[in-house]
Amino acid sequence: MRLPLRTFRGQLLLVFVPVLALAQLTTWYLVGRFNEHEARHQIDVSLQQAAHSFRRVVADRNAHLRTGARSAARDHQIRQLVSGDDPATLASALQSLRGTTDSSVVVILDPAGKVVASAGRGAPEPTLAPRLITLAEADDSPRPSAAGYGNFGGVLHSVVLVPVQAGSEVIAWLLIGFRIDREFASDLKRLTGSDLLFIGENGDALAGTLPDSAHAPIAAALRTTRAHSALRQITINGGASLAAFRPLLTGKDQIATLALVYSLDEKLAPSRLAGRYLALVTVGALVVAAAIALAFARSLARPIERLAAHTERIGAGDYETRVAVDRADELGRLAGAMNAMSAGLAERDRVRDLLDKNVSPEVAARLLRDGATLGGEEREVTVLFADLRGFTTLSERLTPPELLALLNRYLDRMSGAIEAHGGVIDKFIGDAIMALFGAPVTQGDAPARAIAAALAMETALAALNAELAAEGRPPLAIGVGINTARVVAGNMGSSRRLNYSVIGDGVNVAARLQALTRVADYRTNIILSAATRAAAGPAGAASRPLGTVAVKGRSEPVEIFAVDAGNVTGNNPPSQTDTPFLS
Amino acid sequence: MPRPLKRLLAILVAVPAAATAGEIRVEVRDPKGAPVADAVASLTPLDAAPAVQPPAEPVAVLQEGEEFRPHVTPVVVGTRVTFPNRDAVQHHVFSVSRAKKFDLPLYRGEPREPVLFDQPGVVSLGCNIHDWMSAYIVVLATPHFARSGDDGVALIISVPPGRHRLEVWHPRVKATLTREVTVEGAGSATQVIALTLGVDRRVRRAPEAAGSGYK
């Protein structure tokens, strides 16, 4: 098992999974924060709306009671009862009014604020009447009245005060109110969705929709709340809630406080559920992403591994195997390219094989190294020409396959002898061989090598002749001409077909010298030119001078020398007069 | 005593008094100096009981254009007041004031009987049909009184010389303002009274076309 980081799979996992996890976590966090922020905002709005609804409901009911109270205040019998001295009758009249107006308390106060008669439970707290009368007297509207909050027997009420007038004279005040109790709070909760708690002046809970256990934390929050508009977070029975406070005023005096409470946990429940789902989705997505990353890495790594193995095989020289990657993507193209490369390499190998067979290894190497270029250079080269004697007669006696087999056998032996001495077969011309020494690779001892090669050829031929004799065939004879001259060497031919070869007069001279070996008087199979002899050192010095001959194309006669097998020195010089003419 | 003799006696008593009587000009102003109408100024002699003589004929307080006229009527104790209705609609004039409670249920034209105001005090009048109708009858135990007009001046004439208690009452002032003044022989003295008026408690008349206000 490789290290995770060193495999494609590991890298992909290491990149893919953390990025996805980070993205999901960030999303989760941001969505969570947004939801909480949104929930708080919604609660804020809800509580404001609840406060508004409370004010509206109270104002509506007050308006209702005010209308009823005004009607009662202008009732002639009420006026007469108010100014009379029959409080019992007045009290029962107020009881009737309480029923008619659907109110909780109805009280008649004298102009100074003293209770004259009342209906309903409890007496108003002593400060209530003076406060309301002051407010009503300050009201300069066409129909003065006052509204506020007050306690009757410890129960919070919303109250309205209207004057009872005879003409312009205020002869009494009519106070009417309804209870702000648990039932009222429950109604309002149904309307607004928010919990309510009414808190008295000294911090005690008066009425509300919340259980008693919630009262203490709310009252505690109220004690530390300065601005009534501020939203406070409180903990009720371990759950988080937001609370807003509104003062309940009579004029400028705060009678009680309305606490509006909304459970943050309740509001956040849907988004928390969504958060849990999101977490599940996150985990699922991570698993799926990891699986996809693994599958993808696998689909990528497998062909890459195959391609790597294939490359190793190519490196080892196997150009025949083809890699099979059936893909349309970059890897597919890479596989195709590698297959094409294998084919190309195989082709090059075949070409090289063919080159080796058709040109000498040296020429092939030089061609492969330098490229096949037309052109040339002038250089000193020793050219060796060898020809089979009496081949025409031989070819008449043999069948073509026999002839070709014999010829190839001969050429093979001769080639071996020449190449053994560093010669390069330039070409076979039928039964003739043209070989080069000192080209294309420069050799300092090219002439000596040529001479040695010629002698080796004689030796090889002797061996071949022995074989032929054993086969009952006539022996073969050769003539070899060697000349050293400056020639033009290079790739010759058309742009499609080239041969490395040499041209020049020196080549013709070598061919002529070879032909001279047929002259029986020379008694030699190998003839050198003076130039070769001079350049060949001891081997050249051992050659036997044959005198001079006129060579076609040459204005001056050429001095020639014979190389004799076994005794390269001290042979009889050929006759000076015998100067055959070479055609 | 035969009636002409009695009347003569009255004149004889009155004329010498009138000959030596002074007058008090009471100027009623609000704190800004604007004249205050409908204030009732009265002088009660401190050294002698005032001679109270209610008028023989009833004083009239009209109902006209669904308003009382005048708004404030000062009378001496024992005065009878009648409430003629000059409107096409009926009125129901009443009072629940301690000085005089009365009830004149719906009627048109002249009521059958005038109402006798035999107790000093302020009587607030209302109409049970029209809430905005309001008036006052100020019943005084002294014959020396006057009501301020639009110029804020209440001129009390025929006041016998001597020390008097000057009282000024106004519908929009809770407590009666009291001041001691001395009336010289036949002179005229001016008393400037500053009143701080309270809220006008008169119910304002509902505009004809208006719907019910929602407040």
Contact between B203 and A165 using a beta-carbon 8 Å cutoff:
yes
**Which residues in chain A have their CB less than 8 angstroms from residue B97's CB?**
83, 166, 169
Rg (CA), chain A: 65
Domain boundary among B95, B118, B141: B141
Fold of A1-300: Beta-Lactamase (3.30.450)
**Which residues in chain B have their CB less than 8 angstroms from residue A170's CB?**
201
- Shared domain for B46 and B147, answered yes or no, is yes
Measure CB to CB from residue A142 to each of B101, B126, B204 and give the nearest one: B204
pLDDT digits (tens, 9 = 90+) for A188-238: 999 999 999 999 988 888 999 998 888 889 988 888 887 666 788 998 888
What's the pLDDT score for residue A549?
83
| B8 found inside a domain | no
Does the CB of B204 have a partner CB in chain A at under 8 Å?
Answer: yes
To which residue do tokens 């905005």 refer?
B132
Contact between A171 and B96 using a beta-carbon 8 Å cutoff:
yes
Contact between B94 and A144 using a beta-carbon 8 Å cutoff:
no
What's the domain range around B160?
21-51+143-200
Contact between B96 and A140 using a beta-carbon 8 Å cutoff:
no
Contact between A142 and B203 using a beta-carbon 8 Å cutoff:
yes
Distance (Å, rounded) from C-alpha A266 to C-alpha A169?
Answer: 57
Distance (Å, rounded) from C-alpha A528 to C-alpha A450?
Answer: 10
What's the pLDDT score for residue A579?
40
Does the CB of B136 have a partner CB in chain A at under 8 Å?
Answer: yes
**How close A30 comes to chain B (CA, Å)?**
48
Measured torsion, CA atoms of residues A283, A289, A295, A300, in degrees rounded to the nearest 10: -150
- Shared domain for B65 and B132, answered yes or no, is yes
pLDDT digits (tens, 9 = 90+) for A239-258: 899 999 999 999 889 999 99
Does the CB of B199 have a partner CB in chain A at under 8 Å?
Answer: yes
Q: How many CB atoms lie within 10 A of CB A230?
A: 11
Does the CB of B94 have a partner CB in chain A at under 8 Å?
Answer: yes
- Shared domain for B132 and B58, answered yes or no, is yes
**How close A71 comes to chain B (CA, Å)?**
11
Distance (Å, rounded) from C-alpha A321 to C-alpha A346?
Answer: 10
- Shared domain for B182 and B164, answered yes or no, is yes
pLDDT digits (tens, 9 = 90+) for A174-187: 999 999 999 999 99
Fold of A371-563: Alpha-Beta Plaits (3.30.70)
| B3 found inside a domain | no
**Which residues in chain A have their CB less than 8 angstroms from residue B204's CB?**
142-143
Provide the token pair at B175. Answer: 């407590």
Which of B93, B96, B196 would you mutate first to test chain A, the one with the most A CBs within 10 A?
B96
pLDDT digits (tens, 9 = 90+) for B90-138: 999 999 999 999 999 999 999 888 999 999 999 999 999 998 999 999 9
Distance (Å, rounded) from C-alpha A157 to C-alpha A499?
Answer: 126
Does the CB of A351 have a partner CB in chain B at under 8 Å?
Answer: no
| B13 found inside a domain | no
pLDDT digits (tens, 9 = 90+) for B138-153: 999 999 999 999 999 9
Does the CB of A80 have a partner CB in chain B at under 8 Å?
Answer: yes
Please say if the pLDDT value at position A568 is more than 50: no
What's the pLDDT score for residue A56?
94
- What amino acid occupies position A56? R
Contact between A166 and B97 using a beta-carbon 8 Å cutoff:
yes
Q: How many residues does chain B have?
A: 215
Please answer whether residues B1 and B165 qualify as being in contact, where contact means their C-beta atoms are separated by less than 8 angstroms. no
Domain boundary among B125, B141, B157: B141
| B208 found inside a domain | no
Domain boundary among B96, B112, B141: B141
Beta strands in B70-120 (DSSP E): 72-76, 79-82, 91-96, 101-107, 115-117
pLDDT digits (tens, 9 = 90+) for A286-338: 888 888 888 888 888 888 888 888 888 888 888 888 888 788 888 888 888 88
Domain boundaries along the sequence of chain A:
1-300, 371-563
Contact between A170 and B201 using a beta-carbon 8 Å cutoff:
yes
Measure CB to CB from residue B95 to each of A82, A165, A166 and give the nearest one: A166
Which of A169, A171, A173 would you mutate first to test chain B, the one with the most B CBs within 10 A?
A169
Q: Which of B83, B67, B91, B97 is nearest to B204 (CA)?
A: B67
| Chain A residue nearest residue B67, CA to CA | A167
- Shared domain for B118 and B62, answered yes or no, is yes
Provide the token pair at A94. Answer: 């107020």
Distance (Å, rounded) from C-alpha A533 to C-alpha A484?
Answer: 9
Contact between A142 and B128 using a beta-carbon 8 Å cutoff:
no
Does the CB of A63 have a partner CB in chain B at under 8 Å?
Answer: yes
Phi, psi (degrees; rounded to nearest 5) at B139: -95, 120
User: A16-26 burial string, b = 16+ CB within 10 Å, else e?
Assistant: beeebbeebee
Average pLDDT over every residue of A274-291: 86
**How close A78 comes to chain B (CA, Å)?**
11
**How close B201 comes to chain A (CA, Å)?**
5
Confidence class of residue A274 from pLDDT cuts 50, 70 and 90?
A: confident
pLDDT digits (tens, 9 = 90+) for A480-522: 999 988 888 887 777 677 777 888 888 888 888 888 888 878 8
Domain count, chain B: 2
Beta strands in A237-300 (DSSP E): 239-250, 253-263
| Chain B residue nearest residue A80, CA to CA | B96
Distance (Å, rounded) from C-alpha A372 to C-alpha A416?
Answer: 26
| B6 found inside a domain | no
Average pLDDT over every residue of A9-14: 80
Contact between A168 and B134 using a beta-carbon 8 Å cutoff:
yes
**Which residues in chain A have their CB less than 8 angstroms from residue B203's CB?**
142-143, 165, 168
| Domain containing residue B103: CATH number | 2.60.40.420
Contact between A168 and B133 using a beta-carbon 8 Å cutoff:
no
Residue B36 DSSP symbol: -
Does the CB of A143 have a partner CB in chain B at under 8 Å?
Answer: yes
Does the CB of B137 have a partner CB in chain A at under 8 Å?
Answer: no
Q: Give Dmax (Cα) for chain A.
A: 193
Contacts of B58 (CB under 8 A, 6+ apart): B79, B80, B81, B82, B114
Among the ranges given (A376-385, A563-572, B40-49, B152-161), the one the predictor scored with the smallest mean pLDDT = A563-572
- What amino acid occupies position B170? H
| Domain containing residue B45: CATH number | 2.60.40.1120
Percent of chain B with pLDDT over 70: 86
Beta strands in A365-429 (DSSP E): 377-389, 424-429
**How close B159 comes to chain A (CA, Å)?**
31
Q: Which of B41, B112, B126 is nearest to B80 (CA)?
A: B112
Please answer whether residues A457 and A477 qualify as being in contact, where contact means their C-beta atoms are separated by less than 8 angstroms. no
**Which residues in chain B have their CB less than 8 angstroms from residue A79's CB?**
94, 96
Higher per-residue pLDDT: A368 or A303: A303
Confidence class of residue B10 from pLDDT cuts 50, 70 and 90?
A: very low
Q: Which of A221, A177, A178, A183 is nearest to A199 (CA)?
A: A221
- Shared domain for B136 and B147, answered yes or no, is no
**How close A168 comes to chain B (CA, Å)?**
5
If you average pLDDT over every residue of chain A, what do you get?
A: 84
| Chain B residue nearest residue A66, CA to CA | B215
pTM listed for this prediction: 0.61
Does the CB of B82 have a partner CB in chain A at under 8 Å?
Answer: no
**How close B81 comes to chain A (CA, Å)?**
17
| B214 found inside a domain | no
Does the CB of B174 have a partner CB in chain A at under 8 Å?
Answer: no
Does the CB of B101 have a partner CB in chain A at under 8 Å?
Answer: yes
